[in-house]
Structure 1
Amino acid sequence: MRNATLKSSLYLLVGISAAAWFSLAYFGGLDLSKIKDFLGLIPKVVSIDLLVVAWFVKWGWKLKVFRGWLVPFPNLNGSWVGSIYSDWKNPQTGEKPPPIPVMLTVNQSFFHISCVMRTSEMESSSYAEGFLIDPDRQIKNLAYSYTSKPRLSLNERSMPHDGTAAFKIIENPRKKLIGRYWTERLTKGEISLRYYSEEMLEDLPDDLDDHPVTENENRR
């Protein structure tokens, strides 16, 4: 897949360069059979190529027309909400918590992606990310490693830790991320998310339920 998209990128860039060369020559009344005229257009053609590449990297890659043959991965930018199903046991009760409301924000460009996951008790930030895309094998995954930082007031039962999350990307009929995670605390679980907004939200939306562990502790 990577080789295919690389070839497509090279062919497209060569095509754009050729079109720019002939267009500039035509409107400038130049003769490309003459070395002087041909080489004299190199700076202008390179400038056009750079502008096209800059546009594509900034905005163009998000267009559906480029998906598959030129851009192998989906656009995940925005906010996702859902639930964490953890096997962590509360040291005070010895019980697993009910599903934990969670929000994931994804900041993605053509060359980079970063993920921040938030609950009302913690925030985790990715530091190593990557896609695994193989249409022939029907594989479309996102995985990242992260550092989780719970609120300082929760240090007695929830210490900072690292972990890894892996998601299956679902685009039809609705955008979802279904995955699992595991941590150096030897906890693991599942995560189910649905696409919520194009906005990069910085706090949990009001329609998301409270954290079940915090809620139970506040009732005591």
Structure 2
Amino acid sequence: MRNITIKSSLYVLVGISAIAWFSLAYFSDLDLSKFKDFFGLIPKVVTIDLLIMAIFVKWGWKLKVFRGWLVPFPNLNGSWVGFIYSDWKNPNTGEKPPPIPVMLTVNQSFSHISCMMRTAEMESSSYSEGFIIDPDRQIKNIAYSYCSKPRISLSDRSTPHDGTAVFKIIEKPELKLVGRYWTERLTKGEIKLEFHSAELLEELPDDFGNHPVTENENR
């Protein structure tokens, strides 16, 4: 898929350059069969190419018309909400927690993506991210490694740790992220998220309630 996208990018760039060349020659009344006229347009054509590339990298890549053949990955920008289903066991009760409300915010550009996951007890930020896209094998994933920092008041049962999450990107019939995670604390689980907002929210929506472990401890 990567090679196909590179080829498509080259074809588009050559096509834009050709259109720019002939358009400039036409409106400037130049004869491209002449060496001076042909090569004299190079600076202007390069400027047009760079301008169009800058617009594409800034905004254009998000347009659905470019998906698949030119841009292999989807636009995941925004806030996603859902639940964590963890196999972690509460040391005080020996039981697994109920589903934990969670929010994932994705800040994505054409060349970079970062992920921040929040619950009522912790924040985890990504430090290594990437798409795993292979349409021929029906694979469309995003994976990242992260550092998780629980609230200091919870250090007796939850310590800072690193982990990795892999999400399957589901676009039809509804936009979802369904994945799994594992940590250096030897815990693992599943995460199910639905798209919530194009804004990068900084805390869980009020209607999602409290963290179930904290809630039980406060009773």
TM-score (norm 2): 0.99
> Which runs of 5 or more residues in structure 2 are unaligned?
none
Does residue 25 (structure 1) correspond to residue 18 (structure 2)? The answer is no
Counterpart code for 2:182: W
Residue-by-residue CA offset, 1:7-32 (whole Å, 9 max, x unaligned): 00000000000000000010011111
Report the secondary structure of 2:45's partner residue: helix
Instruction: Using the TM superposition, give the Cα deviation of residue 205 of structure 1 relative to its aligned residue in structure 2, in angstroms.
Output: 1.0
Does residue 194 (structure 1) correspond to residue 194 (structure 2)? The answer is yes
Counterpart code for 2:116: V
Residue-by-residue CA offset, 1:82-103 (whole Å, 9 max, x unaligned): 0000011111111110000000
Instruction: Using the TM superposition, give the Cα deviation of residue 209 of structure 1 relative to its aligned residue in structure 2, in angstroms.
Output: 2.0
Tell me what 1:96 maps to: 96
Tell me what 2:160 maps to: 160
Tell me what 1:41 maps to: 41
Instruction: Using the TM superposition, give the Cα deviation of residue 65 of structure 1 relative to its aligned residue in structure 2, in angstroms.
Output: 0.4
Counterpart code for 1:59: W
Counterpart code for 1:4: I
How far, CA to CA, are the matches of 2:40 and 2:104 in structure 1?
51
How far, CA to CA, are the matches of 1:140 and 1:123 in structure 2?
26
TM-score (norm 1): 0.98
Counterpart code for 2:84: I
Tell me what 1:142 maps to: 142
Instruction: Using the TM superposition, give the Cα deviation of residue 35 of structure 1 relative to its aligned residue in structure 2, in angstroms.
Output: 1.1
When the two structures are aligned, how many residues end up with a matched partner?
Answer: 219
Does residue 5 (structure 1) correspond to residue 10 (structure 2)? The answer is no
Counterpart code for 1:176: K
How far, CA to CA, are the matches of 2:171 and 2:66 in structure 1?
16
Report the secondary structure of 1:68's partner residue: coil
Tell me what 1:111 maps to: 111
Tell me what 2:182 maps to: 182
Tell me what 1:67 maps to: 67
Instruction: Using the TM superposition, give the Cα deviation of residue 33 of structure 1 relative to its aligned residue in structure 2, in angstroms.
Output: 0.9
C-alpha RMSD over aligned residues: 0.6
Report the secondary structure of 1:33's partner residue: coil
Tell me what 1:132 maps to: 132
How far, CA to CA, are the matches of 2:209 and 2:168 in structure 1?
24
> Which runs of 5 or more residues in structure 1 are unaligned?
none
How far, CA to CA, are the matches of 1:201 and 1:42 in structure 2?
46
How far, CA to CA, are the matches of 1:138 and 1:205 in structure 2?
33
How far, CA to CA, are the matches of 1:204 and 1:35 in structure 2?
64
How far, CA to CA, are the matches of 1:218 and 1:45 in structure 2?
67
Tell me what 2:53 maps to: 53
